[in-house]
Structure 1
């Protein structure tokens, strides 16, 4: 077979064997490109899943690094600037778990100002940058550069990429990826992928911080709406509020306590449906409305709730809430304390004696507010033994999706009985910790404790 030359004089061979070789080579190159693109896409998807799996910054970054090691790097690190502008190493993950451990290489780093370290340059927006050698610091008075050099040496970095984490025109920190094996070195081709990763990491960190800031602001708003408790008199009062861990940290749960002109103490717990800013605002307005109704005239608790229901029906139609309104009083110093109370669709109060006996006060029950304003609102009265505790609480304290309500109520009785003789502040803290830890609903509780015989006045604790 003869060779044919084209216009340029180059020989052109015909034959099935040559054509198959050329096509096979092309297909091989195309397959490699497709596989490379799929690998890159898979890595980005896994990184996005790791970052979106939690709003806790540290936990999300640790999960991210575990998806990058060892596929993209033999080890990686993420450093973030804190609220004071200090650089803190959040996570270091290595393909060999014995080389490093959480906390070993992490923590606050030396100052970045004036440093020649690659992480300091990245904070200025430089990068991503490929590092192929790691010379000793030129300035011995550069502690950040020394710290970086020590990390590269101890973890045996052969090549590394350092990239700034930029979001909303701000640099939030630095992502470092390193290879320790010369046969799989990082190259210039890696820079675009790392830049894409760094952008995704920065957005996730920024979103998590915005979420945390919104939660903090919302919780401060919620707590500012809660009242100060009475601090004088023979009754000791304490209350607690814990926001839900899975919402905007505001909601409709509230407590209240105040002393009426005749010396009786009003004790209130309530829960407006909803877990948002609207519910929190409505809660504050309802609390103030109930205060005004209670102070307007001395009436039995059932009538107070009926008046609240009528006003609430006019101002907030179709909005439901549960509530307990109670009065704690005694006719004279020689008489026992009495609890007059009415319950509108709310969990029953719990009475805990000094000896640890417990029982739910099941009287004075009626429909929740906001359903039928004409419904009859009964009230009940129970005697409170000396040094006994009455606990009012919202349903988030006892309700769990995975268990029956009766089990939650039984657990509450067990916890309360064990804490019967503890100081009231300890009683509240331990009840909240034991019953509502990590709950998905916000919780409010308020307690009142009668004085032991011949005891002086006690102090309330908000």
Structure 2
């Protein structure tokens, strides 16, 4: 009985430590209160609540904002520590360099391989340009992004149409820091929802990833008009039936006050 109690206390302590570590590594989004943002992190059931999945959002000096998501190889405490290193490097490089997302991703790849022991990372880095606060402005919300081997962001329009943002794709970080990376651009229509997510949301063992992406699009279509927190919580509830991996999701809702139409398919530059 004493051994069982000691084991229970030790497990509770480890779980609490893991929870606090994860909370300290994931960002506080209150600094971007002007944006309709929501995020969730759900740990795999069979492990402590830490891992390499991460998301981030922070403002830049020019008034735009960076949104990012990624996955560091590994599912343990070491992966969580490497994730924290990577996120801090990304913040410094994006804030100071003034580069577009492809430039920031290339810098991150070089620094990661030169100064850390981090091996492979998938990531999406996006820069969001928001209109001025002038009520008469007709500027659109514009997204610029690049993708390093990660699953494509999902754009769900208020009419239920969905689009996977597959442009701007290049290999994962940690393969070759001289790889050419490109920045893709699209206009975000009013009322649209932009979703960044890690593979735990859509992957199932032994199943083609295309089926998981199809499920994601179907559920996003059904939930496109729901409030943003409900949109995220319902997606997790409907897709998280066999939680074998960590899940990180970050979502942005575009205000419906402006009637600026989109420009069609994203393009690389």
What is the TM-score with the length of structure 1 in the denominator?
0.53
Q: Is the 8 A contact 2:192 2:254 kept in 1?
A: yes
Q: Structure 2: how far apart are the matches of 1:437 and 1:211?
A: 25
2:54 pairs with 1:232: no
| Larger RCO (CA under 8 A, 6+ residues apart) | 2
2:2 pairs with 1:166: yes
Counterpart in the other structure of 2:159: 355
Q: Structure 1: how far apart are the matches of 2:78 and 2:193?
A: 33
Counterpart in the other structure of 2:87: 287
Q: Structure 2: how far apart are the matches of 1:254 and 1:358?
A: 24
Q: Structure 1: how far apart are the matches of 2:163 and 2:85?
A: 32
Give the Å deviation of 1:362: 0.5
Counterpart in the other structure of 1:26: none
Counterpart in the other structure of 2:143: 339
What is the TM-score with the length of structure 2 in the denominator?
0.89
2:150 pairs with 1:314: no
Structure 2 gap segments, 5+ residues each: 260-269
Residue 419 (structure 1) aligned to one of 207, 213, 223? 223
Q: Is the 8 A contact 1:387 1:450 kept in 2?
A: yes
2:171 pairs with 1:370: no
SS in 2 for 1:263: coil
Which structure has the larger Rg?
1
Give the Å deviation of 1:403: 2.2
Cα distance 1:209–1:405, how it changes in 2: closer, same or farther (>3 A)? farther
Cα distance 1:406–1:209, how it changes in 2: closer, same or farther (>3 A)? farther
406-415 or 316-325, which deviates more = 316-325
Counterpart in the other structure of 2:99: 299
Residue 388 (structure 1) aligned to one of 192, 197, 200? 192
Q: Structure 2: how far apart are the matches of 1:408 and 1:213?
A: 35
Give the Å deviation of 1:270: 1.1
Counterpart in the other structure of 1:52: none
Q: Structure 1: how far apart are the matches of 2:118 and 2:16?
A: 30
Q: Is the 8 A contact 1:352 1:359 kept in 2?
A: yes
Q: After superposition, what is the alpha-carbon deviation per residue over 1:255-276, rounded to whole angstroms, capped at 9, x for unaligned?
A: 1101112111110101101111
Counterpart in the other structure of 2:51: 251
Cα distance 1:215–1:363, how it changes in 2: closer, same or farther (>3 A)? same
Give the Å deviation of 1:301: 0.5
Q: Is the 8 A contact 2:112 2:118 kept in 1?
A: no
Q: CA RMSD in A?
A: 1.7
Give the Å deviation of 1:433: 1.5
Q: Structure 2: how far apart are the matches of 1:352 and 1:324?
A: 18
Give the Å deviation of 1:280: 0.7
Counterpart in the other structure of 2:249: 445
Give the Å deviation of 1:213: 3.4
Q: Is the 8 A contact 2:120 2:172 kept in 1?
A: yes
SS in 2 for 1:407: helix
SS in 1 for 2:2: strand
SS in 2 for 1:248: coil
Q: Structure 1: how far apart are the matches of 2:85 and 2:2?
A: 43
Q: Structure 1: how far apart are the matches of 2:11 and 2:59?
A: 39
Residue 207 (structure 2) aligned to one of 400, 403, 410? 403
Cα distance 1:331–1:423, how it changes in 2: closer, same or farther (>3 A)? closer
Give the Å deviation of 1:297: 2.5
Structure 1 gap segments, 5+ residues each: 1-164, 168-202, 456-462
Q: After superposition, what is the alpha-carbon deviation per residue over 1:318-351, rounded to whole angstroms, capped at 9, x for unaligned?
A: 6110111001114653111111000000000000
